[in-house]
Amino acid sequence: MKKLAILLYTLLCPFLMMAQFESGENVVISQEQQDDIYLSGESVTLNAPVTGDVVAAAGNIQINDSISSDLTAAGGEIVVNGMVGDDLRVAGGTLTIDTEIGDDLMIFGGEVEITRNSIIHGNLICFAGDVRMDGNVQGMVKMYGGNIKMNGTVAKDAVIYGGELDLNGEIRGKSKLAAEVLNIGTNAKFYNDVAYWTETGEVDFKSSLINSKATYSEDLGADRQGFSWKYFGVTALVLWVLYMLSAFLVILFLNMLFKAFFSRVAILFNRDVLKSIGIGALYLLGMPLIIFLLMVSVIGIPIGLFLLFLYVFSLFFGHLVVALLITHFMDHRKGGGWSFWAIVFIALGVAAVLQIIFLIPIIGWLASIVAIALAYGFILINISRK
């Protein structure tokens, strides 16, 4: 593990040392950034140009200025208004793309809107629940969703699978369309051959076929039925990538802020194990009662809200705290020679392993509770001694 971390450190450190890191409740970037930048918080707003890559994870993300290279973003609601010079990779709940993208757009979301102002110079790959695509794609399109409205233009081939597909745009390459319901609008234009399938059978393409033909294909229906498994596989992969991205940012900032503290706590790891589990269990079970008692009194509401935020944060990121403590303990056993970035990448690997273990029914859940209780027990013991 250490060799792997050192390898990753050696490869990535020259780039990461150039990067800027910003985190907080509301992060606003209002000055031009000359390097890569990593952003994390409840909300992130970019109001200045960035010469480099941007990686952002937050509840709400607003990109209002240009990014010369890649943008990778994960969040609840994301709006991209600023130009992206290279690739855009984005995942979240509600996603709006209203800009020019220098290369590919890969987008995963619940609701996706690509506005008529959008120009995608590369390819578009989209997985979503509801999709509205009004932009201009100069490459090919692969789109998978529930309800899809395709009003834009596609310069090359298009593969679109959906529940209900309303097609009122232009496709200049070959098309493969498979949907339960396929509606061809009056502005639809196909400049190359179309293979399609619907549950209701053949569809009237009206005057949309320009020197091309449409062929009903049962094979596309079979492909669409089998696609659900591919969709779940891709979704799982995307969620795993998003988890690793979020975990990396959280571990990075926790280690930046509390590296010395975690190192002190890790020294206790081979002492008072049962006592630490007991204290941690009291924290996990007793804190909700304390918060409740504070919330029912008017004077205690501000403190109760603060403790509630702290408690939810500690539960949500508990396995990452465990991973960091384990990594610092390993570092302590090795003599304390690991660098900052080695600890970050090793902790990320430990977090990935813990996440797999904790997903095991019953055994994994119990292991998760015990591990988090042990970690917070050690932390509380260290705080009480101070």
In the predicted structure, residue 383 carries a pLDDT above the cut 50: yes
pLDDT at 193 over 60: yes
Sequence ranges of the domains in the chain: 245-385
pLDDT of residue 28: 92
Judged against a pLDDT cut of 80, whether residue 218 lies above it is answered with yes
Question: What residues does 116 pair with on adjacent strands?
Answer: none
Check: CB of residue 149 under 8 Å from CB of residue 129: no
Residues in CB range of 168: below 8 A, 6 or more apart: 149, 150, 151, 184, 185, 186, 187, 188
How confident is the model at residue 65, as a pLDDT? 95
Rounded to 5°, angle at Cα 240 from 332 and 233: 145
Considering only residues 132 and 18, tell me which one the structure prediction assigns the higher pLDDT: 132
pLDDT of residue 242: 65
Query: For residues 17 and 165, which has the higher predicted lDDT (pLDDT)?
Result: 165
The DSSP annotation for 259-278 comes to HHHHHHHHGGGGS-HHHHHH
CA distances from 322 to 53, 143, 186, 371, 373 (A): 30, 39, 58, 7, 9
Q: Which of 155-159, 295-299, 347-351 has the highest mean pLDDT?
A: 155-159
Nearest 5°: phi and psi at 3?
A: -65, -40
Q: Which comes out higher in pLDDT, residue 329 or 229?
A: 329
pLDDT value at residue 237: 57
Rounded to the nearest angstrom, the gap between the alpha carbon of residue 57 and the centroid of all alpha carbons in its chain is 7
Q: Distance between CA atoms of 141 and 22, rounded to whole angstroms?
A: 34
pLDDT over 70 (residue 1): no
Instruction: Please check the confidence at residue 8 and state whether its pLDDT lies above 80.
Output: no
User: How far does CA 169 lie from the centroid of its chain?
Assistant: 30
* Whether the predicted pLDDT of 128 surpasses 70: yes
- DSSP 3-state of 213: coil
Please give the average per-residue pLDDT across 107-131, as a whole number.
Answer: 92
Let me know how long the chain is.
386
Report the range of poorest mean pLDDT among 119-123, 225-229, 304-308: 225-229
One-letter amino acid of 180: E
Euclidean distance between CA atoms 362 and 354, whole angstroms:
14
Q: What is the pLDDT of residues 353-371, one digit of tens each?
A: 887 777 777 887 788 888 8
Rg (CA), the chain: 25
pLDDT score of 16: 41
Mean of per-residue pLDDT scores for the chain: 82
330: pLDDT strictly greater than 50: yes
For residues 191-206, average pLDDT: 91
Predicted pLDDT of residue 223: 64
Quick one: pLDDT at residue 152?
96
Helix axes 273-295, 363-385, angle to 10 degrees: 90
The rounded percent of the chain whose pLDDT value lies above 90 is 33
Each residue of 129-144: pLDDT tens digit?
889 999 999 999 999 8
Cα maximum dimension of the chain:
81
The CA distance from 46 to 286, in Å, is 40
Q: pLDDT tens digits, residue range 268-320?
A: 766 677 787 888 888 888 888 888 888 777 677 778 777 887 787 777 778 88
Return the pLDDT at 17: 41
* Torsion (CA) 24, 85, 92, 44 in degrees, nearest 10: 20
Range from 25-39, 176-190, 309-323 carrying the lowest mean pLDDT:
309-323
Q: Band of the pLDDT at 3, cuts 50, 70, 90?
A: very low
- Residue 349 confidence (pLDDT): 82
| Residue 341 Ramachandran class (φ > 0 left, ψ -120 to 50 alpha, else beta) | alpha
Looking from the CA of 275 toward its CB, the CA atoms found within 13 Å total 10
What is the spatial distance between Cα 224 and Cα 162, in angstroms, rounded to a whole number? 8
pTM, two decimals, is 0.62
Q: Does position 350 have pLDDT exceeding 80, yes or no? A: yes
Poorest-confidence range of 86-100, 123-137, 226-240? 226-240
Q: Is the pLDDT of residue 42 over 50?
A: yes
CA 110/CA 194 separation, integer angstroms: 28
Averaged over 197-209, what is the pLDDT? 90
Q: What is the mean pLDDT of residues 332-361?
A: 80
